[in-house]
Structure 1
Amino acid sequence: MELLKVENLTFTYPKQNPDAAEPEPTLQNVSFQVQEGAFVVVCGESGCGKTTLLKLLKRELAPAGERSGNIWFHGVEQAALTEREAACEIGFVLQNPENQTVTDKVWHELAFGLENMGVPTPVIRRRVAEMACFFGIDDWFRKKTTELSGGQKQLLNLAAVMVMQPKLLILDEPTSQLDPIAASDFINTLRKINKELGLTIIMTEHRLEDVFPVADQALIMDQGRVLLMESPRQAGKDLKKLNSDHKMLVGMPSALRIYHGLDVEEEECPLTVRDGRMFLEKNYRNEIRHFERKNETVSEDAPFVMRMKDICFRYAKDLPDVLDGVALSVRQGEIISLLGGNGAGKTTLLKIISGTCKPYRGKIEVFGKRLQKYSGKELYVNKLAFLPQNPQTVFLKMTVREDYAEVRRTMGYSKEQMAQKTEEIAATLHIEHLLDRHPYDLSGGEQQKAAIGKILLLQPKLLLLDEPTKGIDAWSKRQLGMLLKQLKQQGITIIMVTHDVEFAAEVSDRCGLFFDHEITSLDVPEEFFCNNNYYTTAANRISRKAFDNTITCEEVIALCRQNGKKTDTSVQMQERR
Structure 2
Amino acid sequence: MELLKVEDLTFTYPRQKKDIDEAAPALEHVSFEIQEGEFIVVCGESGCGKTTLLKLLKRELAPFGEKSGKIWFRGVEQNSLTDREAACEIGYVLQNPENQTVTDKVWHELAFGLENMGVPTPVIRRRVAEMACFFGIDDWFRKKTTELSGGQKQLLNLASIMAMQPKLLILDEPTSQLDPIAASDFINTLVKINKDLGLTILMTEHRLEEVFPVADRVFVMDKGKILLMEPPREAGRDLKQINANHKMLLGLPSALRIYHGLDAPEAECPLTVRDGRNFLEENYENRICRLERKKTESEGTKKDRPIAMRMKDICFRYEKDLPDVLESVALTVYEGEIISLLGGNGAGKTTLLNVVSGANKPYRGKLEIFGKRIQKYSGKELYAGKLASLPQNPQTVFIKMTVREDYQEIQKVMGYSQEEMEQKISEIADLLGISHLLSRHPYDLSGGEQQKAALGKVLLLQPRLLLLDEPTKGIDAWSKHQLQLLLKDLKRQGIAILMVTHDVEFAAGVSDRCGLFFDHEITSLDTPEEFFCNNNYYTTAANRISRQRYENAVTCEEVIELCRQNRKIKSGDRSQQRNGQGEAHEETE
TM bucket normalised to smaller: over 0.9
Residue 63 (str. 1) matches residue 87 (str. 2): no
User: For the Cα contact (< 8 Å) 2:17–2:23, is it kept in 1?
Assistant: no
Unmatched tracts of structure 1, length 5 or more: none
Give the structure 1 partner of residue 397 of structure 2. Answer: 394
Give the structure 2 partner of residue 120 of structure 1. Answer: 120
Give the structure 1 partner of residue 266 of structure 2. Answer: 266
Give the structure 2 partner of residue 355 of structure 1. Answer: 358
SS at match of 2:550: coil
Give the structure 1 partner of residue 136 of structure 2. Answer: 136
Equivalent runs, 1:65-464 vs 2, <5 Å: 65-298=65-298, 300=302, 301-464=304-467
* Alignment partners' CA distance in 2, 1:130 and 1:297: 56
Of stretches 18-27 and 297-306 in structure 1, the one that deviates more from structure 2 is: 18-27
TM-aligned CA deviation for residue 566 of structure 1: 4.3
* Alignment partners' CA distance in 2, 1:574 and 1:326: 63
User: For the Cα contact (< 8 Å) 2:484–2:510, is it kept in 1?
Assistant: yes
User: For the Cα contact (< 8 Å) 2:10–2:29, is it kept in 1?
Assistant: yes
SS at match of 1:398: coil
User: For the Cα contact (< 8 Å) 1:16–1:436, is it kept in 2?
Assistant: no
User: For the Cα contact (< 8 Å) 1:102–1:109, is it kept in 2?
Assistant: yes
Q: Which letter does structure 2 place at the counterpart of 1:110? A: L
How many residue pairs align between the two structures? Answer: 575
The list of structure 1 runs, each at least 4 consecutive aligned residues, that deviate by more than 4 angstroms after superposition, is 16-23, 570-575
User: For the Cα contact (< 8 Å) 2:17–2:24, is it kept in 1?
Assistant: no
User: For the Cα contact (< 8 Å) 1:564–1:573, is it kept in 2?
Assistant: no
Q: Which letter does structure 2 place at the counterpart of 1:517? A: H
From the superposition, tell whether residues 397 and 21 of structure 1 become closer, same or farther in structure 2 (CA, over 3 Å).
farther
TM-aligned CA deviation for residue 415 of structure 1: 1.3
* Alignment partners' CA distance in 2, 1:248 and 1:69: 27
Give the structure 2 partner of residue 506 of structure 1. Answer: 509
* Alignment partners' CA distance in 1, 2:317 and 2:45: 39
TM-aligned CA deviation for residue 293 of structure 1: 1.9
User: For the Cα contact (< 8 Å) 1:405–1:418, is it kept in 2?
Assistant: yes
From the superposition, tell whether residues 573 and 131 of structure 1 become closer, same or farther in structure 2 (CA, over 3 Å).
farther
* Alignment partners' CA distance in 1, 2:578 and 2:545: 23
Give the structure 1 partner of residue 53 of structure 2. Answer: 53
TM-aligned CA deviation for residue 118 of structure 1: 0.4
TM-aligned CA deviation for residue 419 of structure 1: 1.1
* Alignment partners' CA distance in 1, 2:30 and 2:406: 33
SS at match of 2:382: helix
Q: Which letter does structure 1 place at the counterpart of 2:97? A: P
SS at match of 2:51: helix
Equivalent runs, 1:494-533 vs 2, <5 Å: 494-533=497-536
TM-aligned CA deviation for residue 5 of structure 1: 0.5
What percentage of residue pairs aligned between the two structures are identical? 78
* Alignment partners' CA distance in 2, 1:326 and 1:441: 39
From the superposition, tell whether residues 361 and 573 of structure 1 become closer, same or farther in structure 2 (CA, over 3 Å).
farther
User: For the Cα contact (< 8 Å) 1:297–1:509, is it kept in 2?
Assistant: no
User: For the Cα contact (< 8 Å) 1:217–1:231, is it kept in 2?
Assistant: yes
Question: How large is the Cα RMSD of the aligned pairs?
Answer: 1.5
Q: Which letter does structure 2 place at the counterpart of 1:197? A: L
Unmatched tracts of structure 2, length 5 or more: 581-589
* Alignment partners' CA distance in 1, 2:530 and 2:193: 38
TM-aligned CA deviation for residue 418 of structure 1: 1.1
SS at match of 2:315: strand
User: For the Cα contact (< 8 Å) 1:563–1:573, is it kept in 2?
Assistant: no
Give the TM-score normalised by structure 2. 0.96
User: For the Cα contact (< 8 Å) 1:233–1:269, is it kept in 2?
Assistant: yes
TM-aligned CA deviation for residue 567 of structure 1: 2.2
SS at match of 1:31: strand
* Alignment partners' CA distance in 1, 2:462 and 2:360: 23
User: For the Cα contact (< 8 Å) 1:17–1:436, is it kept in 2?
Assistant: no
List per-residue Cα deviations over 1:108-164 (Å, max 9, x = no partner): 000000000000000000000000000000000000000000000000000000000
* Alignment partners' CA distance in 2, 1:401 and 1:423: 10
List per-residue Cα deviations over 1:235-277 (Å, max 9, x = no partner): 0000011001100001000000000011111111100000000
User: For the Cα contact (< 8 Å) 1:16–1:438, is it kept in 2?
Assistant: no
Q: Which letter does structure 1 place at the counterpart of 2:456? A: G
TM-aligned CA deviation for residue 297 of structure 1: 3.3
From the superposition, tell whether residues 30 and 508 of structure 1 become closer, same or farther in structure 2 (CA, over 3 Å).
same
List per-residue Cα deviations over 1:173-225 (Å, max 9, x = no partner): 00000000000000000000000000000000000001001110100000000
* Alignment partners' CA distance in 2, 1:88 and 1:561: 53
* Alignment partners' CA distance in 2, 1:573 and 1:501: 44
User: For the Cα contact (< 8 Å) 1:6–1:32, is it kept in 2?
Assistant: yes
* Alignment partners' CA distance in 1, 2:395 and 2:231: 35
